[in-house]
C-alpha cells in the first residue's frame, strides 16, 4: 500500500512538473509607432502586465540592453533586408550573432533568432538563400557555444499553404518544395521549431462567409455546424487549430515529424474602415481572451493533441505608421502609456497574477448533452445562482451551452469547494487560473466581483491591466511549485 501511494505521488509530481512547463502566450513588438515609449518604459510595461515572452522584429540594442536581468524570454529578428547579405556571407552571419546576440548575453534572455518575416511569400527572390542564412547563423552560434541555448527558425505565412482546409490534405506551395525540404531538414537537425504566422481574421474575412465568425473567434458551434475534416473525422473547434493542423499535415507531406509549431503571430484588429466590419473591439477582445484560454489548456490540435501551441500575440502597440487599410494600424493590445486598448468589460482572461483565484469552467469541446446535464444539476440540486445567465441578464451572452455551464459550474464550485465540492461534472469541467469574466459578466471569485454576475461600472468603463491571461502560467506554475515542495517534504516521512 505504501509503495502504491509512493508511486502515485511520484506520478502526480511528474504531472505537475510537466504542466509547469506548459504553453505560454507572448507578444510581438513592432516599432512603426509615432509615440513609441523608451526602451526602459517598454520593459516596465511588459513587467507590469506580467508578459514573459517577447518577439522583436529586429535586434534593437537599446531594447536588448533594457531587457537585461528582466527574465523575459526574447526572440530577436533578422530583418528581411538583412537576409540576403547573411545568406551570401558566413562572415556577415558571424558578425550579426556577435553584435546582436552574444554581446547581450547572459544578461538578456535571448532564446531564438527569427530569420526574416514571411520571406518566401513577402520577398520570394530572397527565398533561395533563406536556409543558407539559417545554417550560417547556426554555425556562428555553434562557434560561440550558444547553439544549445538559442534556436534558429523563420516565420512563415499561412499563404504558403494554398488550400489549408481540410487540414489532412494541406500541402505547401509546390513551387517551394526544394527550399521547404531544406528548411524542415534544418529544423529537424538543429531540434528547432517551425514558426507560423496564423491569422483567423484573414481566414474568415477572405473566405466570403464559408466559415462562421464564431469559428474564427473560438466560440462553440452547434452540432449541426461543427467543422469536421472529412478524411480524419477530426472536429475543429476553431480556425486557429485548423491552421496549425494544416501546417502539421503539410510538414508530414515531406515525411518529417517531431518538429513542433510555435505560432509567432496571431491576433485580431480592433478597429477598421467602413469596408472592414469585422475589425471591432468586441471581436478583438473575444479573440484574444479565447485564444489565451485555448493556449493555456496545454493541448495541441487534433492531430497533435499532446503538443502545446506556444503563441505570440500580434501585437503590443498599434503601429499607426504602417501603410495599408485602417485595420492594419490597429492590432495593438496596449496603448503606449501602458493602458489596455480593450475596456476591462470586454476582455475575459484578466490577470490573476496578484490573486490566488481559481475558476471552474466547462472544457472546450465537451459533450453538449453532458454539459446540459451538468448545467441543470448545478442550477438545481447544486444550488448555484444561475440568475445571471437568464435572457437579458449580464451573463446570458454569448448564448452557448459552454458559456452558461461555465458560469453555473464556477458559482457552484466557489460556494462548495471549501466543504469538498469538486470541479468535475462528469469530466466536462476543469480548473483554471484565468478569470473567465467578460463584459459586464463577472464570475464569482474574480478580483472584480461584486457578488457574481453583476454589472461593475468601474470595471466596465476603466482600462484593463492586460496582458491578462499571459501571466496566468506564472501564477499556476508558482502554485504548482508550492505543492511540489509540500509533496516532496511529505515523501521524506
Torsion of CA 156, 158, 159, 161, to 10 degrees: 100
Going across the sheet that includes 261-266, the strands are 151-153, 110-115, 73-78, 53-56, 25-29, 311-313, 261-266, 194-197, 155-157
Spatial separation of the C-alpha atoms in residues 14 and 141, rounded to whole Å: 33
Q: Which residue is listed with cell 550560417? A: 136
**Strand residue runs (E) in 336-491:** 359-362, 429-432
Q: Which residue has the cell 500541402?
A: 171
Gyration radius of the chain's alpha carbons: 23
* Dihedral angle computed from the Cα positions of residues 369, 374, 380 and 384, in that order, rounded to the nearest 10 degrees: -140
* Opening angle at CA 314, ends 41 and 35, nearest 5: 35
Catalytic residue among 3, 73, 88, 118: 118
- Residue 219 and residue 236 in contact, taking contact as beta carbons nearer than 8 Å: no
DSSP reduced 3-state for 438: strand
Q: Is 118 a catalytic residue?
A: yes
Q: Per the structure block, which three cell numbers stand in for 131? A: 536556409
Count of alpha carbons within 13 Å of 461, Cβ hemisphere only? 3
Q: Compute CA distances 111 → 58, 114, 132, 291, whole Å.
A: 14, 10, 20, 23
> In sequence order, what are the beta bridge partners of 155?
195
Residue-level length of the chain: 493
Mention every residue, 6+ apart, whose C-beta is less than 8 A from residue 32.
319, 320, 321, 322
DSSP 2-64: HHHHHHHHHHHHHHHHHHHT---EEEEE----TTPPPHHHHHHHHHHTT--EEEESS--HHHH
The gap between the terminal CA atoms of the chain, to the nearest Å, is 15
Say if residues 312 and 53 touch (Cβ distance below 8 Å).
Answer: yes
Q: From start to end of 172-220, where are the E strands?
A: 194-197
| Cis peptide, bond prior to residue 272, ω within 30 of zero | no
Cell of 202: 484573414
Q: How far apart are CA 251 and CA 245, in angstroms?
A: 10
Helix H or strand E segment including 153 = strand 151-153
Choice among 88, 207, 265, 372 that is catalytic: 265
Cβ–Cβ contacts within 10 Å for residue 147, how many?
A: 17
Q: Which sequence positions are flagged as catalytic?
A: 118, 265
Amino acid at each position: 500500500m505504501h509503495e502504491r501511494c509512493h508511486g502515485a505521488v511520484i506520478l502526480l509530481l511528474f504531472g505537475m512538473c510537466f504542466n509547469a512547463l506548459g504553453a505560454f502566450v507572448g507578444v510581438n513588438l513592432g516599432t512603426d509607432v509615432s509615440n513609441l515609449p523608451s526602451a526602459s518604459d517598454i520593459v516596465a510595461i511588459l513587467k507590469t502586465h506580467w508578459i514573459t515572452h517577447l518577439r522583436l522584429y529586429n535586434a534593437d540594442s537599446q531594447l536588448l540592453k533594457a531587457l537585461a536581468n528582466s527574465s523575459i524570454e526574447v526572440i530577436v529578428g533578422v530583418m528581411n533586408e538583412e537576409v540576403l547579405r547573411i545568406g551570401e556571407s558566413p562572415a556577415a552571419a558571424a558578425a550579426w550573432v556577435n553584435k546582436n546576440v552574444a554581446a547581450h548575453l547572459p544578461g538578456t534572455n535571448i532564446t531564438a533568432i527569427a530569420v526574416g518575416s514571411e520571406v518566401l511569400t513577402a520577398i520570394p527572390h530572397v527565398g533561395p538563400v533563406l536556409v543558407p542564412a539559417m545554417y550560417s547563423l547556426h554555425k556562428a552560434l555553434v562557434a560561440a557555444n550558444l547553439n544549445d541555448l538559442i534556436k534558429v527558425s523563420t516565420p512563415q505565412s499561412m499563404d504558403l499553404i494554398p488550400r489549408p482546409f481540410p487540414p489532412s490534405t494541406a500541402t505547401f506551395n509546390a513551387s517551394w518544395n526544394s527550399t521547404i525540404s531544406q528548411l524542415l531538414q534544418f529544423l529537424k537537425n538543429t531540434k528547432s521549431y517551425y514558426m507560423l504566422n496564423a491569422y483567423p481574421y484573414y481566414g474568415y474575412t477572405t473566405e466570403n462567409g464559408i466559415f462562421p465568425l464564431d469559428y474564427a473567434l473560438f466560440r462553440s458551434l452547434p452540432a449541426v455546424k461543427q467543422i469536421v475534416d472529412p478524411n480524419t473525422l477530426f472536429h475543429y473547434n476553431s480556425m486557429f487549430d485548423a491552421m496549425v493542423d494544416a501546417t502539421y499535415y503539410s510538414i508530414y507531406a515531406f515525411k518529417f515529424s517531431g518538429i513542433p509549431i510555435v505560432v509567432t503571430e496571431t491576433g485580431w484588429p480592433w478597429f477598421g474602415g467602413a469596408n472592414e466590419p469585422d475589425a471591432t473591439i468586441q471581436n478583438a477582445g473575444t479573440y484574444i481572451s479565447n485564444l489565451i484560454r485555448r493556449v493555456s489548456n496545454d493541448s495541441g490540435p487534433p492531430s497533435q493533441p499532446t503538443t502545446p501551441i506556444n503563441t505570440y500575440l500580434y501585437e503590443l502597440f498599434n503601429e499607426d505608421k504602417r501603410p495599408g487599410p485602417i485595420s492594419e494600424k490597429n492590432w495593438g493590445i496596449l496603448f503606449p502609456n501602458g493602458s489596455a486598448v480593450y475596456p476591462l468589460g470586454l476582455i475575459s482572461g484578466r490577470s490573476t497574477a496578484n490573486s490566488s483565484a481559481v475558476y471552474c469552467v466547462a472544457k472546450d469541446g465537451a459533450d453538449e448533452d453532458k454539459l446540459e446535464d451538468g448545467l441543470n444539476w448545478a442550477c438545481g440540486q447544486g444550488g448555484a445562482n444561475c440568475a445571471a445567465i437568464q435572457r437579458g441578464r449580464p451573463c446570458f451572452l454569448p448564448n452557448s451551452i459552454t458559456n452558461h455551464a461555465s458560469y453555473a459550474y464556477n458559482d457552484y464550485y466557489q460556494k462548495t469547494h471549501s466543504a469538498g465540492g469538486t470541479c468535475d461534472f462528469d469530466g466536462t469541467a476543469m480548473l483554471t487560473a484565468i478569470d473567465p469574466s467578460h463584459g459586464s459578466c463577472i464570475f464569482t471569485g474574480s478580483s472584480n466581483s461584486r457578488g457574481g454576475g453583476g454589472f461593475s461600472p468601474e470595471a466596465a468603463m476603466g482600462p484593463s491591466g492586460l496582458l491578462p491571461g499571459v501571466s496566468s502560467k506564472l501564477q499556476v506554475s508558482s502554485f504548482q511549485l508550492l505543492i511540489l515542495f509540500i509533496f516532496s517534504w511529505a515523501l521524506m516521512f
